[in-house]
A and B are shown apart, each in its own frame.
Chain A
Amino acid sequence: MAEAHNPLEQFVIQTWIPIKIGDFDASFTNSSAFMLLAVIAAIALMVFAVRPRAGVPGRWQLLAELSYQFIAKMVSDNIGKEGRPYFPFVFSIFMFVLFGNLIGMIPYTFTFTSHIAVTLAMALVIFFMVTIIAFIKHGFHFFSFFLPAGVPIVLAPLMVAIEVISYFTRPFSLSVRLFANMMAGHTLLKVIGGFVVPLGIFGVVPIAGLVGVMGLEFLIAFLQAYIFTILTCIYINDAIHMH
Chain B
Amino acid sequence: MPQLDITTFSPQIIWLFITFIILYVLMAKVALPRIGNILEQRQARIDDNLNAAQNLRNEATADAEAYDKSLADAREQARTAIYEATQEMSDESARRHEELGSRLSGEIKAAEERISEAKEAAVSGIREAAESVASVATERLIGVVPGDDAVQLAIAAALEASGKGTAK
Interface residues of A (CB under 8 A from B): 8, 11-13, 15, 19, 24-29, 31-32, 35-36, 38-39, 42-43, 46-47, 50, 53, 55, 57, 64-65, 68-69, 87-89, 91-92, 95-96, 112, 114-118, 121-122, 179, 183
Residues of B within 8 A of A46 (CB): 26-27, 31-32, 35
Q: Are A29 and B24 in contact, with the CB atoms below 8 A?
A: no
Given contacts A32-B11, A47-B26, A92-B27, contact A13 B16 (CB under 8 A): no
Check B5–A13 contact: CB distance below 8 A: yes
Q: How far is the CB of A67 from chain B (nearest CB, A)?
A: 9
Cβ–Cβ < 8 Å partners of B28 in chain A:
88-89, 92
B31 and A118 form a contact (CB under 8 A) = no
| Cβ B31 vs Cβ A47 within 8 A | yes
Q: Which residue of chain A lies nearest to B17 when distances are taken between CB atoms in the complex? A: A121
B39 and A65: CB pair below 8 A? Answer: yes
Q: A11-B2, A69-B39 are in contact. Are A121 and B31 (CB under 8 A)?
A: no
Known: A31-B11, A31-B12. A116 touches B23 (CB 8 A): no
Chain A residues near B22 (CB-CB < 8 A) = 39
24 contacts between A and B (CB under 8 A): A8-B2, A12-B2, A25-B7, A26-B15, A27-B11, A29-B15, A31-B15, A32-B18, A39-B19, A46-B31, A64-B31, A68-B35, A68-B36, A88-B28, A88-B32, A89-B24, A89-B28, A96-B23, A114-B3, A115-B8, A121-B13, A121-B17, A122-B20, A179-B3
Task: Tell me the smallest distance from the CB of A8 to a CB of chain B, in Å.
Answer: 6
| A88→B10 contact, CB < 8 A | no
Known A-B contacts A43-B23, A55-B42, A68-B35; the reply to A26 vs B3 at CB < 8 A is no
The docked-state distance in angstroms from the alpha carbon of A50 to that of B31 is 8
Q: Which residue of A lies closest to B15 (CB)?
A: A32
- List residues 25-47 of chain B with CB under 8 A from any CB of chain A: 26-28, 30-32, 34-36, 38-39, 42, 45
Given contacts A68-B35, A69-B39, A112-B12, contact A92 B7 (CB under 8 A): no
Which secondary structure characterizes the binding site on chain B? Answer: helix
Give Cα A95 to B35, complex, Å. Answer: 15
CB neighbours (8 Å) of A121 from chain B are: 12-13, 16-17
Q: Which residues from chain B contact A117 at a C-beta distance below 8 Å?
A: 3, 8-9, 12-13
Select from chain A the residue with minimum beta-carbon distance to B7: A25
What residue of chain A has the Cβ atom nearest to residue B28's Cβ?
A: A88
Closest residue on chain A to residue B19 by CB atoms: A35
Nearest residue, chain B, Cβ from A67? B35
B4: chain A residues within 8 A (beta carbon): 116
Q: Judge whether B19 and A28 touch: CB under 8 Å.
A: no
**Cβ contacts under 8 Å, B24 to chain A:** 88-89, 92
